[in-house]
Amino acid sequence: MVRSQDLSAARAITTGVRPDDWHLLVTARPNVLLEGAHETTDLVVGAAMEWLPAPHATWCGAPPCGDRPATLVVRSISALDGDEQRSLYEWLDAPGNRVQVISTTNEPLYPMVGRGVFLESLYYRLNVLRLDVAATRTACGESPA
């Protein structure tokens, strides 16, 4: 019989995330900032959605409609302009809003904060667990070409 912890470790390895980080992501549910190529971060997000409680929502420049999601995914967060960043931060900061945020970026955010093009308060809100997601590995352990 395969235990769920074994499945979780297997999922972590196939996504390139360390097993301890994967376990934290799907059990403690902190806000997670995934830095890496879009195809790699999308793979991690897709795998995580299988393990995280529903409902899930994706930020599309405005707050999700309907019930508050358990997990909010913000893809390409470095591409949000200042107004979109403030809108997201205000929504996250609303009373009673306890939602896990998984955000992705292919550009490191900290230098953007230093240049004044990314909202510092939003950066610290999202950067609870930062994972530098390397390119996914093939079955032979080599990075894809």
pLDDT in tens, 38-63: 999 999 999 999 888 888 999 988 88
**Does residue 12 fall inside a structural domain?**
no
14 is a domain residue? no
The pLDDT score that the predictor gives to residue 131 is 92
In a domain, 18, yes or no: no
What's the pTM? 0.83
In a domain, 10, yes or no: no
pLDDT tens for 79-91 read 999 999 999 999 9
Q: Does residue 145 lie within any of the structural domains?
A: no
CB-based burial, 107-136: b 16+ in 10 Å, e otherwise: eebeebbeeeebbeebbebbbebbbebeeb
Residues 77, 112, 25, 6: is their CA dihedral positive or negative? positive
112 lies in which domain range?
30-132
Instruction: State the total domains in the chain.
Output: 1
The answer to whether residue 1 sits within a structural domain is no
Read off the CATH number of the domain in which 80 is found.
3.40.50.300
Is 90 domain-assigned? yes
φ/ψ of 72, rounded to 5, equals -110, 125
Q: Per the domain annotation, does 4 fall within a domain?
A: no
- Summarised one tens digit per residue, pLDDT across range 82-122 is 999 999 999 999 888 889 999 999 999 999 999 999 999 99
* Separation CA 101–CA 82 (nearest Å): 18
